[in-house]
Structure 1
Amino acid sequence: MTDNIRFRHEDPQLGEFALRPVAPEADAPLLHSWLTHPKSAFWLMQEARLDDVAAEFGKVAASPHMEALLGLHRGEPAFLTERYDPSRIELAGLYPHRSGDAGMHFLCAPTGTPLHGFTLAVITTVMAWLFSDARVQRVVVEPDVRNTAVHALNRAVGFEEIEEITKPEKQALLSICTRARFEAATGVTSA
């Protein structure tokens, strides 16, 4: 499925990263193994069955307000990202939405052999992809307030922490990154 690549980014240390759309049925076994792993607890799918994962990504694929992409590192599946319209889902009514906002989630595949700098390269790739769309002016995220590791990564690519918000499933730390803040933090120009 590498012929369906939507975006490529070259990391100076770790090489090529790429994104392709998730194929809900075909990718479900892989995504199930990632999402039910203890390291993926903040995705709230620990108890999901294989058919639950396929159904969830089928809904995402059918949604006009969300998309899921499988991330590849040097051609191998290594992470997952989702882009969503925060005015319609996830953050609808919970923050002052602006035209040009895009919501984002990402998940690195659990591994027993971590690669130094990998997660930062992943979030940089995801942000570069989002900002490659000239309509996107800000990226908005809502990680769990307890997920301090992702807060540090978000700050590293230019996110500003705005406020804690209450979502039905969690207390979240609303954070926003403008194109200018991303480029200043990473040196990556995106459009």
Structure 2
Amino acid sequence: MSLDTLTSQPLPIRARRHGDVVQVRGNDRDINLPVAHLGGGRLALRPASEGVPTHNETLAACETLSNHATEEVLVVLDRALWCAREAQLLKSGCAQVLDGDTLGVFPELLWQLPDLWLPEPQPVFPQVMMPDPHGAHPLRPAKPTGTLYHRYIPWLDQVFSLRALEREADLPLFHHWMNDTRIAAFFDEAGTMAEHQGYLARMADDPHMMPVFGCLNGVPLFYFELYWARENRIGAHYEAGAWDRGWHVLVGEEHARGADYITAWLPSLMHYMFLAEPRTQALVGEPAASHHQQIRNLTRSGFARVKDFDFAHKRATLVRLERDYFFKSRLWARPDPEDPGRPLRLSCSALLTRGNTK
């Protein structure tokens, strides 16, 4: 399946690194950008012989250079060579002036821009607090439709995407997954087609819940329920921020289990929720306290284990991931199994606070 068929809008720019060259591929041209190692985790990106890349081509190249956890990365741009792009890079917020000669593109800034991953970035929704028996919460925006997010996963060589569930078209697959004995054992929603139709109708009518499919190369493999924590049952068990968000997950297809897939869908889902609402400062979950493997996967992925508590139907563990930690630690990248540590020394805040950019 062509990457351009994955969404209602084509994916216009794709980039891959081949040694000391980043190949950027768009709909109308391919360009090769040389990369030079400057030492200390700094990579110099230079324009192609075809000329200075567009803004989004530049962002795609920088994304590719920062898509790995095995090395620290600060992408350095020579201001004389990139003067045509400097104003837009600085205005977007992904780049900072390092000195009189160079700009630095910091991963924790770049990956907070929606440009490369959200097909249709939404404006920030006005905040109006609404009364609620469990405490005031913001008026929630209308739920988006269609493709929500897409990201190339280098270790799978596939595109992971999120799309909003279509109630009628997706009902048969939802029904099939919910009646799978493996899934029903923990999701506990086995039932008839009519019951599942009612389930999705209630979800559609609930402003705080959103059902989403996770796909690889356009094929649905995962089901997620995203929710605003203030209005959810979890909100009674911790001091939920106004824009905190949580999620439930099931892996619909047996072959899509395992580390290669978890390290693709889990950080990508977290990335989407942080991008979709810039006021979201924390993501939470409530796995069963007895589900030790899932909790291990979450803590390895950056979640803090906060406490155990009781729902009416289960003993749960509250886990929490903060925006600042996700982006500074580059948790979107697949950790090296031999070295699971995360690079932090070249963070934007550390370098710019010290003024040590040399």
Is 1:157 the counterpart of 2:292? The answer is no
Q: Secondary structure at the match of 2:272?
A: helix
Kindly indicate whether the alpha-carbon contact (under 8 Å) linking 2:283 and 2:321 is maintained by their aligned counterparts in 1: yes
Is 1:186 the counterpart of 2:331? The answer is yes
Name the residue aligned to 1:81. Answer: 224
Q: Which structure has the larger Rg?
A: 2
Distance 1:114 1:98 in 2: 32
Name the residue aligned to 1:61. Answer: 204
Name the residue aligned to 2:313. Answer: 169
Distance 2:319 2:290 in 1: 14
Alignment of 1:17-96 (within 5 A): 17-40=160-183, 41-45=185-189, 47-96=190-239
How many residue pairs are counted as aligned between the two chains? 187
Q: Aligned pair in 2 of structure 1 residues 48, 153: CA closer, same or farther (>3 Å)?
A: same
What is the percentage of aligned positions where both structures have the same residue? 24
Q: Which has the higher helix share?
A: 1
Q: Which moved more, 1:70-79 or 1:35-44?
A: 35-44
Q: Secondary structure at the match of 2:265?
A: helix
Is 1:136 the counterpart of 2:285? The answer is no
Q: Secondary structure at the match of 2:254?
A: coil
What's the TM-score, normalizing by structure 1?
0.89
Name the residue aligned to 2:270. Answer: 127
Instruction: Report the aligned-residue RMSD.
Output: 1.9
Kindly indicate whether the alpha-carbon contact (under 8 Å) linking 2:271 and 2:332 is maintained by their aligned counterparts in 1: no
* Unaligned ranges ≥5, structure 2: 1-5, 9-145, 334-358
Question: Which string of whole-angstrom CA distances, capped at 9 and with x for unpartnered residues, describes residues 126-158 of structure 1?
Answer: 111111121211001001112222212211221
Name the residue aligned to 2:65. Answer: none
Kindly indicate whether the alpha-carbon contact (under 8 Å) linking 1:100 and 1:136 is maintained by their aligned counterparts in 2: yes
Q: Which moved more, 1:58-67 or 1:89-98?
A: 89-98
Kindly indicate whether the alpha-carbon contact (under 8 Å) linking 1:22 and 1:57 is maintained by their aligned counterparts in 2: no
Q: Which runs of 4+ in 1 moved over 6 A?
A: none
How many Å apart are 1:116 and its aligned residue?
A: 5.0
Q: Which moved more, 1:147-156 or 1:170-179?
A: 147-156
Q: Aligned pair in 2 of structure 1 residues 171, 100: CA closer, same or farther (>3 Å)?
A: same
Kindly indicate whether the alpha-carbon contact (under 8 Å) linking 1:42 and 1:147 is maintained by their aligned counterparts in 2: no
Question: Which string of whole-angstrom CA distances, capped at 9 and with x for unpartnered residues, describes residues 137-187 of structure 1?
Answer: 100100111222221221122100111111122111111000122231625
Match for 1:99: what amino acid?
A
Q: Aligned pair in 2 of structure 1 residues 185, 166: CA closer, same or farther (>3 Å)?
A: farther
Match for 1:80: what amino acid?
Y
Match for 2:239: what amino acid?
P
Which of 146, 150, 169 does residue 290 from structure 2 map onto? 146
How many Å apart are 1:119 and its aligned residue?
A: 2.2
* Unaligned ranges ≥5, structure 1: none
